[in-house]
Amino acid sequence: MGKQRKKPEAPLLKVLAGQKQTRPPVWLMRQAGRYLPEYRKLREQKAGFLPLVEDSKAAAEATLQPIHRFGFDAAILFSDILVIPYALGQDLAFVKGEGPKLTPTLVDHNLRLLEKTPNRLNPVYETVRKVAATLSPKTTFLGFSGSPWTVATYMVAGEGSRDQAVTRAMAYRDPQAFSEIIDAIIDQTLDYLSGQIEAGVDAVQLFDSWAGTLSPQQFERWVIDPTARLVSKLREKHPDIPIIGFPKGAASRIKAYIADTKVTAIGLDETIDPYWADQYLPAGFPVQGNLDPLVLLSGGDALDQSITTILDAFSERPHIFNLGHGILPQTPLTHVSQLLEKIRG
């Protein structure tokens, strides 16, 4: 369990320090984004997603928009997990209708031929400084990065996929080359998260969005081990920083993930039964989650019932209310208000 850092009034940091709250603090993954009309307006002013990330003033505004509208208990940095490959020397583009593209792909390209450009991360640190200077002492500021496995899947294949087959095959075929990619990601992510912390974030989250596609042995090798190394190295530099791990799709393997990575808290996706999690995860261990984004999209009685179930399941442990994955762009704002009213009474 992490020691509570600055902002002693912040409910979310109290949860990360192991203190159960009367009502759970709440924030939503991808809360700074396309479901907000003010974000869509801001995005229209930019030539694309990456120029928005690289404009620190605009990125700070995007970070703060959901706080101004809904008063969430945490602001999460507006950025993207793929700034790490960008800093490692891959070219990054966000193609409309297709998603992010990285070149050259590492499935057929030597990692050593990339030219590192860590200065590409400087605008993110400036965004952190701008946001940190304005947030209330009660609002936690979350930084984040992608976990090594998930970032590697994009670097190898050059894009996202449903089953990560290209990357999984490479990891089997040439584990040495793949290990070098993982190691490079760990080193760059360590510097990146340290930079965020030094600029003013209060805690960080590790997104492992594609953790669920691996076999048990590969999960141990490419999710747990690299994450454990990253967490250990980060704690050497910043002993008090709370770290939330989010291995989406890990199912029952989250028990081993918690034990071996030594994260401060675990984010649960919507496929995890919250009653199972409360029964089988370590007593008093902070959990985050895990409302289905589709039930938030649907609203009504189904939303109320799902919220009640999660609140009941985690009523006796430190809990951060969140979604099981990112909020869907078409989610009505009234449904977000309904969620907050239900949680906050």
DSSP string, 278-308: HHHSPTT--EEEEE-HHHHHH-HHHHHHHHH
Cα dihedral sign, 34-40-44-46: negative
DSSP string, 160-173: --SS-HHHHHHHHH
**Of 35, 154, 192, 257, catalytic:** 154
Active site residue 275: no
Q: Tell me which amino acid residue 4 is.
A: Q
146 assigned binding-site residue: no
80 assigned binding-site residue: yes
Q: Is 54 helix (H, G, I), strand (E, B) or coil?
A: helix
Close Cβ partners of 141 (under 8 Å, ≥ 6 residues apart): 74, 75, 77, 128, 131, 132, 135, 200, 201, 202, 203
209 assigned binding-site residue: yes
74 assigned binding-site residue: no
84: tokens are 């790490």
Active site residue 35: no
Active site residue 43: yes
Active site residue 221: no
**Of 55, 80, 208, 292, catalytic:** 80
235 assigned binding-site residue: no
What is the C-alpha to C-alpha distance for residues 307 and 295, in angstroms, rounded to an integer?
A: 10
- Residue recorded with tokens 């996202």: 160
Q: What are the angstrom distances between the C-alpha of 100 and each of 42, 105, 224, 293, 328?
A: 20, 12, 25, 22, 18
31 assigned binding-site residue: yes
What is the C-alpha to C-alpha distance for residues 202 and 345, in angstroms, rounded to an integer?
A: 27
Backbone angles phi, psi at 200, to 5 degrees: 140, 5
Question: Is-contact 21 4, C-beta < 8 A?
Answer: no
221 assigned binding-site residue: no
Active site residue 80: yes
34 assigned binding-site residue: yes
Q: Return binding residues.
A: 30-34, 80, 154, 209, 325
Catalytic residue numbers read 30, 34, 43, 80, 154
Q: Return binding residues for substrate.
A: 30-34, 80, 154, 209, 325
